[in-house]
Structures are given as structure tokens and as C-alpha cells.
């Protein structure tokens, strides 16, 4: 069975953010970390070499593959900031329509910069994602 590459590390979140070349993306990363910490009450941790996560849960698939993942997370990548949120399917489209300029895939939401989106809508999505993940993964 393959070993997960993205695991929690002891690397410094601040050190990781401080080396982001793009000043806007660097400032947005610090702001996102502050927002997620405030909403979750959890400290940011590095996951792998490029993901900033908050909290963790253990998963196990029917295939037998299992591991740990952050409850909420983001990654300030070169092309866009990836938001890793667990939004329930029944709320996803409505919540995304309130967010502002973004792209989305099944598991990620991509934004270029925080000024492109509605911060209140983002905060709402983060709260909903936290509650959904707690219900799915932490209530056992």
C-alpha cells in the first residue's frame, strides 16, 4: 500500500508563507491562516511541503487505504490559492455562488486573491465545512 505523502510535519507555517515571492499571495496566505484559526480554534500546521491545515481526522476507504488529513486547509500555489473545504453537496452550488470569483473542482476551490471574493461568504463556508467534517469524521 502506498504511503501518504501529505502528512502533518513540524515545519513552520510562518517560514513557509514568508518565502512566497508574490506579496499579495503571501499577505493573503497570512490572512487566510488567521481566518481559519479564528473560526476553527485550531493552530495551523504544515501538511507535506505546501499545505496549511487545521486539525486532523483519520479516514479509511473500502479499498483499505487509510490515513490522516486536515479538517480544513489551503495551499498558496503559484497559479491560485487552493481551498480544501468539505462542503455538503446539497449546499455547495449555493455557497459557491455567493463566494465571488473562483474556480472549483470536486474537492478544491481555487481563488486568485482574497479581494476577488466575499470574505463573509468564505467564513460561512469554512464554518459549514468544519461542522460537516466533524459530523462525518469526528463524531464516532
User: CATH number, domain at 109?
Assistant: 3.90.1150.200
Parent domain of 45: 13-117
pLDDT digits (tens, 9 = 90+) for 15-56: 999 999 999 999 999 999 999 999 999 999 999 999 999 999
Judge whether 124 lies within some domain.
no
Asked if 74 contacts 82 with a C-beta cutoff of 8 angstroms, the reply is yes
Could you tell me which residues are beta bridge partners of residue 124? none
Q: What dihedral angle (degrees, nearest 10) is formed by the CA atoms of 34, 40, 45, 47?
A: -110
- Total of domains in the chain: 1
Judge whether 138 lies within some domain.
no
pLDDT digits (tens, 9 = 90+) for 49-106: 999 999 998 888 888 888 899 999 999 999 999 999 999 999 899 999 999 999 998 8
Amino acid at each position: 500500500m502506498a504511503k501518504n505523502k501529505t502528512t502533518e510535519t513540524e515545519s513552520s507555517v510562518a517560514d513557509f508563507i514568508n518565502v512566497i515571492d508574490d506579496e499579495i499571495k503571501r499577505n493573503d496566505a497570512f490572512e487566510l491562516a488567521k481566518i481559519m484559526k479564528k473560526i476553527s480554534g485550531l493552530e495551523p500546521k504544515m501538511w507535506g511541503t505546501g499545505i496549511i491545515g487545521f486539525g486532523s481526522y483519520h479516514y479509511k476507504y473500502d479499498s483499505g487505504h487509510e490515513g490522516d488529513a486536515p479538517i480544513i486547509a489551503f495551499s498558496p500555489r503559484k497559479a491560485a490559492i487552493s481551498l480544501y473545504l468539505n462542503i455538503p453537496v446539497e449546499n455547495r452550488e449555493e455557497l459557491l455562488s455567493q463566494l465571488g470569483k473562483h474556480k472549483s473542482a470536486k474537492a478544491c476551490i481555487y481563488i486568485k486573491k482574497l479581494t476577488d471574493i466575499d470574505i463573509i461568504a468564505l467564513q460561512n463556508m469554512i464554518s459549514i465545512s468544519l461542522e460537516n467534517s466533524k459530523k462525518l469524521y469526528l463524531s464516532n
